[in-house]
Structure 1
Amino acid sequence: MYPAKVESLKLPGARLHYEVRGSGPVLLTIPAGPMDAEAFAEVAGLLAGRYTVVTYDTRGNSRSVFDGPPEDCSVADHADDAHHLLAALGSEPAYVFGTSSGALIGLDLVAAHPGQVRALVAHEPPVTELLDEAEHHRAEGRRIHETFLAEGADAALASMIRSGEMDGDREEPEGPGPEGEPGPGTPETTARIRKNVEFYFAHQWLPLIGHLPDIAGLRTAPTRIVVAGGVESREQVAGRAAAALAGRLGTTVVDFPGDHGGGLADRPAEFAERLHSVLAGGEERYAARGSSGPS
């Protein structure tokens, strides 16, 4: 009903692949880690009657290719790409949704360019620097990278998920899915995500370790910032980090369906409705942890 219009944007050193569905105010979705635009395809289709939903592959992932050899990408680099993408889409402030490391990108985008973002929903940003055991998580991050160098991406991914670090709070995978975790998909998608996982650990993982957003800047930004968390992952690393960030921002975590990444894939209709309700300002009805959400 809402076919995707495929576009590309030339940036310094790379070309971004993005897809546009629907009409209305712009809603930019920022994927996590090895995910790409396809991870949001079903939710985008459900929201396209209300928003111009823009999904994209972050720099170095899938169809967003470098002009030359792959390079390391920091959260700030990805936020700058999102800034240029929003500028190409128009001058009006946009809604932004980011999940996991994509939420970190969204937070950096707001801190650097608050006038571009009307509202940000940051879903479980893994701001482990705000946890009491921050040094443990930094050490775990370094150990996972050493595993990647010694044993490869599959071993590093399994280690990451077992330890609950960053983008993996679920069981050990049997094969890659939307987050480099198990899940259905075409052979083309599987091959794409496998390549993304390799890039993730080679060029994105180390910059994520110890990353801390500009909390002072976020507190004074005119953008409405909503910190979201999975109702099933409150006690997991990213869920606790999201709660810590919300506390620093003087707000509370808004419950979303599923766990750290499950709601997008497992309950897309419920996830889409919750996201729309939050963007429309309805999160006050169920912001407190422990509430059952809107009826």
Structure 2
Amino acid sequence: MTTPAPVTANTLAVPDGRLYYELRGSGPLVAIVGAPMHAAPFAPLADLLAADHTVLTMDPRGHFGSVLDDPEADSTPPLRADDLARLLKHVDAGPAIVLGSSGGAITALALVQAHPQLVQTAVIHEPPLLRLLDDGEHQMALNEETIATYAGGDALGAVRKFMANAGFVMPEEVFLQVFGGEKSPQEVAGDRFFYLHELRGTANWLPDLDVLRATPVHLIIGIGETSAGQVCDRTSRALAAALKLEPVLFPGGHGGFMEDAAKFADRLREIIE
């Protein structure tokens, strides 16, 4: 068994707070970003990639170690893209290969639009771009119901709605095991920030397709092999069609990097090398 690379953890000051980030390994720079997912769930994938890459992971603004001066401020893709740009410039090992997953994939698209010089290749894994769908208005309305459910005090009900809207199917006993237990204060705060200050601005964001079509950055649209029929499968295919790109399949589903990090890392290496 390979020993994980040592991890250097630090924070970077930004105008409205501090960003927590981790670096491991050496070699070409790979940045892995999620939203709302923080650095920890990406660690197994990052450890594998660190065998031959410098790997940057981070907590997105408002989550865990990335603390904002105003905890009630909203998080948008352009703000998160600026955060990532500041980190990439700070690390100074680019241009980077950027893997963005889910809301982090939208962050990566916003980064490509605003700071293309910092990115060599952007792997856009299952971005929930609802406005690209034919039924986008309906999907955004479902998100508003989810937000209202959380704001009304029914946190577990909000998770149920979010999962159902996304097309994620989970047996009830598994759902309760995953989401029904006691949460840490950081997890509770992260959930609140996501539903009240992040979900709307992320899922309703519309990329500039003309800018993305003309970008010098190598764009790869990734979809989980088992995501067929889910909202993020549909949004990813809609984005790929709009950009005249053929989507690339990755092992597993929406969280394939957690389901089997080794297979996901192997697939990532195939398409970036």
Cα shift at 1:83: 0.9
Q: Which residue of 2 aligns with 1:9?
A: 12
Q: Which residue of 1 aligns with 2:143?
A: 141
Q: Which residue of 1 aligns with 2:188?
A: 194
TM-score with structure 1 length normalisation? 0.86
RMSD: 1.9
The one-letter code matched in structure 2 to 1:26 is L
8 Å contact 2:129–2:203 — kept in the other structure? no
Q: Are 1:163 and 2:165 counterparts?
A: yes
Q: How many Å separate the matches in 2 of 1:128 and 1:69?
A: 26
Q: Are 1:271 and 2:264 counterparts?
A: yes
Q: How many Å separate the matches in 2 of 1:255 and 1:209?
A: 22
Q: Which residue of 2 aligns with 1:130?
A: 132
8 Å contact 2:226–2:252 — kept in the other structure? yes
SS of 2:229's equivalent? coil
Q: Are 1:154 and 2:159 counterparts?
A: no
Q: How many Å separate the matches in 1 of 2:35 and 2:13?
A: 22
Alignment of 1:230-269 (within 5 A): 230-261=224-255, 263-269=256-262
| Structure 1 gap ranges (5+) | 281-295
Task: Quote the sequence identity (%).
Answer: 36
The one-letter code matched in structure 2 to 1:134 is G
Q: How many Å separate the matches in 2 of 1:275 and 1:56?
A: 19
Q: Which residue of 2 aligns with 1:212?
A: 206
8 Å contact 2:156–2:180 — kept in the other structure? no
8 Å contact 1:243–1:253 — kept in the other structure? yes
Cα shift at 1:249: 0.8
Alignment of 1:166-185 (within 5 A): 169-171=168-170, 173-174=175-176, 176=178
8 Å contact 1:4–1:20 — kept in the other structure? yes
Q: How many Å separate the matches in 2 of 1:241 and 1:252?
A: 13
SS of 2:31's equivalent? strand
The one-letter code matched in structure 1 to 2:265 is A
Q: 1:170 to 1:61 in 2, by over 3 A?
A: farther
8 Å contact 2:74–2:197 — kept in the other structure? yes
Aligned with residue 46 of structure 1, among 45, 48, 51 = 48
Q: Are 1:19 and 2:22 counterparts?
A: yes
SS of 2:192's equivalent? helix
Q: Are 1:67 and 2:69 counterparts?
A: yes
SS of 1:174's equivalent? helix
SS of 2:222's equivalent? strand
Q: How many Å separate the matches in 2 of 1:259 and 1:69?
A: 32
SS of 1:105's equivalent? helix
Q: Are 1:28 and 2:31 counterparts?
A: yes
| Structure 2 gap ranges (5+) | none
Cα shift at 1:244: 0.7
- 1:64-115, CA deviations, whole angstroms, 9 ceiling, x for partnerless residues? 1112433111111111111111111116311100001100000000011111
SS of 2:176's equivalent? coil
